[in-house]
Amino acid sequence: MILLFLISLLCMQPTITATAPTNETDRFALLKFKESVRQDPHNILSSWNDSMHFCNWLGVKCGRRHQRVTVLDLQGHKLRGTLSPYIGNLSFLRSITLQNNSFYGEIPQEIGHLFRLQQLYLSNNTLEGEIPSSLSNCSNLRFLYLRVNKLVGKIPEGFGSLMKLELLWLGKNNLVGGIPSSLGNLSSLTQFNVAENNLVGSIPDAIGQLNGLVTFSISDNNLSGTIPSSLYNVSSLQIFSVSSNQFNGTLLANIGLNLPNLQLFHFGGNEFSGPIPTSLVNTTQLQLIDLSDNKFLGSVPTNLGNLLNLFLFRLSINYLGKSLNFLTSLTNCSRLQSLGLDENQFDGVLPNSVSNELNFLFFG
């Protein structure tokens, strides 16, 4: 009887309806981000106020289910300021797009708290300091663009744990040290660009394990040694750029057979030697070949006319042989716009048919 009495009392209590609170954490983090922006010439952040829900603020997108911020896109608005560490509290963020602004200072370590982050675009700013090692915690990261900043220090070794990473662009900074061998673990990587830095050392053999690599650009550094033979076997490569370093050795004889998709081949400004492989003419998609400023010798392959998409061909400053017979086949390359042959050992007279066809090109 006592139990029944207690149950009846409970049933008589008024029902309390819980209302879903607005997410004050995200709103506060966004306002802190706004505080760190010193200059906003186009008043992009003027909508960030109490007159509307933060999910409707310009450059902000939220998920429908939880009304949490998933996208922060403020690219190209000439914003100037620092990146607030409070950005790390936007725990549902999947995409940060802030390129083409004037953000300065360091990338906050707190960005490593964003375990849902898939895209981080910070290119074309003036960001300084080291790349946060905490980014290695962002296990869902797919696109990482930090190109054209003032970043220093080394490429974090921990990046080798970002197994979903597809694009890694760190070019045009002030990075030092070597290319971490751990990056050879990134089986999803398709684009790797660290050009225009101060990197040293050799290319790790493990990089040749990246069988899906489309772009490999390490030009304008202080790298040395030979190109790992395994890298010549990455058949998916379209852009292969190692120019302006200190690489040596010879080109793989069957390079043209192993790299059928090659379009841009930048090997100028190094210390490569030996002959130009005749197999290069099998890469029929080639648009640019730059082998200038090296120590190549011997004759130039004579069946270059197969390269119908070729628009630039640079052989300047080498020790290439005297025969100019290869020029006859070049007349088939109707898209060719630039030809550099100066400072070699070529000799002889050009046939009129060849000189008439190629009279707009630079021979040196």
pLDDT in tens, 290-312: 999 999 999 999 888 889 999 99
- Contact yes or no for 77/39 (Cβ under 8 A): no
Least reliable range by pLDDT among 102-111, 115-124, 276-285: 276-285
Length of the chain in terms of residues written? 364
Answer whether residue 190 shows pLDDT above 80: yes
- Contact yes or no for 362/338 (Cβ under 8 A): yes
**pLDDT in the model for residue 66:** 87
**pLDDT in the model for residue 327:** 87
**pLDDT in the model for residue 1:** 41
Q: Which residues contact 38 (CB under 8 A, 6 or more apart)?
A: 80, 81
23-151 — its CATH code? 3.80.10.10
Per-residue pLDDT band at 356 (split at 50, 70, 90): low
Per-residue pLDDT band at 4 (split at 50, 70, 90): very low
- The residue ranking higher by pLDDT, 18 or 239, is 239
**pLDDT in the model for residue 23:** 84
- The residue ranking higher by pLDDT, 352 or 8, is 352
